[in-house]
């Protein structure tokens, strides 16, 4: 039991360090996946089977896939900092403050004097942390938070679509103006269709055809 | 293992996430570091649930996961919108969020 804890905790901490340190955001995401899986194994050691499964399916599965797609779409790491910004000093200060948070929390945990913290917890019934127990709690004592969570997810999904949708949200895209459709764009004289091949359009020297020149594409044009 | 070890690991994860939020400048990576901090909270909640032999802490952890998923959806939506508008994806250069 102790051996597994040490291994999983070290892997989780290494994943966390990787998220903070690695330059490429894609590697950061992969490092977080490693961290989340190790964390799910720690949850298993704490008899939380359902939460561990949800962690792997929801987090390491769904949410991280979303991250991977957005990183592939946006890309890019941290840009190099401008010269006038004291980036190194800011980094040192951040590490000092983060270390202070850790030391403070460690003092609060170890200095609390709670005798239960020293043990591994009481013996629990075999069904502890199982989907049956979690489901019963969610549908009886925690019914209101459960429903509120579903509503929050709905609002977040609508908000995400409104923000990232092609129109609306943070403003119109430049190339799509209201009142015009892509069918109104001018069509080049040679479009490489079969009709042009019959009519004798060349690849290198297109012959202007008065019938096609300057026309715009209409609906029912057969393209 | 004693519960306090789990809590120490959780505290270290939280500190690392805080360092990442302060150091990194790519909003994507800052969101990832926020995930680290939320997961540190989750680990502490589940450790306490085991300490009490009581399932309530696990429900709290599930609610935290729901909130984290919502935060990811909105945050990534904002980042994609920024990218579409050709704004710099860098928190130091983004001083205002109004459209």
State mean pLDDT over A133-147.
92
**Which residues of chain A are within 8 Å of residue B70 when distances are taken between CB atoms?**
152-153, 155-156
pLDDT at A77: 58
Q: What residue segments make up the domains of chain B, in order of their start?
A: 3-84
Nearest to A98 among B19, B35, B52 (CB): B19
> What does the CA dihedral A129, A134, A137, A143 come to, rounded to 10 degrees?
150
Judge contact between B67 and A57, C-beta under 8 A.
no
Report ipTM for this prediction.
Answer: 0.92
Chain B residue nearest residue A10, CA to CA: B9
pLDDT band at B97 (very low <50, low <70, confident <90, very high): low
Chain A residue nearest residue B21, CA to CA: A20
pLDDT tens digits, A148-205: 999 999 999 999 888 877 654 455 445 544 555 555 555 566 666 666 666 665 544 4
State yes or no: pLDDT of A212 exceeds 70: no
Please tell me which residue, A85 or A111, carries the higher pLDDT value: A111
How many CA atoms lie less than 13 Å away from A135 in the CB half-sphere?
A: 4
> Which conformational region is residue A100 in: left (phi greater than 0), alpha (psi within -120 to 50 degrees), or beta?
alpha
The CATH class for the domain spanning B3-84 reads mainly alpha
Nearest to A118 among B2, B9, B70 (CB): B2
State yes or no: pLDDT of B86 exceeds 90: no
Q: What residue segments make up the domains of chain A, in order of their start?
A: 7-78, 130-162
State yes or no: pLDDT of B45 exceeds 70: yes
Helices (H) then strands (E): counts for chain A? 9, 0
- Name the pTM for this structure: 0.77
Question: What is the second-level CATH architecture of the domain A7-78?
Answer: Up-down Bundle (1.20)
């Amino acid at each position: 039991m102790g051996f597994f804890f040490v291994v999983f905790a070290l892997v989780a901490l290494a994943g966390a360090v990787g998220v903070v340190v690695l330059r490429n955001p894609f590697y950061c995401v992969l490092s977080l996946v490693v961290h989340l899986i190790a964390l799910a194994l720690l949850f298993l050691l704490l008899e939380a089977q359902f939460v561990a499964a949800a962690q792997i399916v929801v987090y390491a599965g769904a949410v991280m896939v979303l991250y991977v797609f957005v990183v592939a779409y946006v890309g890019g790491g941290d840009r190099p900092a401008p010269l006038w910004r004291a980036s190194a000093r800011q980094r040192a200060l951040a590490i000092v403050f983060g270390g202070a948070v850790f030391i403070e929390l460690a003092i609060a945990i170890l200095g609390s004097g709670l005798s239960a913290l020293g043990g591994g917890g009481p013996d629990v019934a075999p069904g502890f942390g199982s989907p049956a127990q979690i489901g019963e709690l969610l549908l009886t004592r925690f019914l209101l938070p459960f429903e509120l969570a579903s509503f929050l997810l709905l609002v977040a999904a609508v908000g995400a679509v409104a923000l990232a949708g092609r129109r609306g949200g943070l403003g119109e895209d430049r190339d799509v103006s209201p009142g015009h459709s892509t069918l109104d764009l001018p069509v080049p004289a040679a479009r490489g269709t079969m009709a042009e091949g019959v009519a004798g359009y060349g690849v290198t020297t297109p012959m202007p055809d008065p019938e096609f020149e300057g026309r715009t594409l209409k609906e029912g044009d057969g393209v | 293992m004693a519960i306090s070890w789990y809590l120490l690991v959780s505290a270290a994860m939280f500190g690392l996430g805080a360092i990442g939020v302060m150091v990194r400048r790519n909003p994507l990576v800052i969101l990832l570091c926020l995930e680290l901090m939320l997961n540190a909270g989750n680990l502490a909640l589940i450790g306490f649930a085991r300490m009490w032999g009581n399932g309530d802490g696990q429900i709290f952890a599930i609610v935290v996961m729901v909130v984290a998923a919502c935060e990811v959806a909105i945050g990534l939506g904002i980042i994609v919108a920024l990218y579409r508008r050709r704004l710099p994806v860098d928190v130091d250069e983004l001083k205002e969020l109004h459209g």
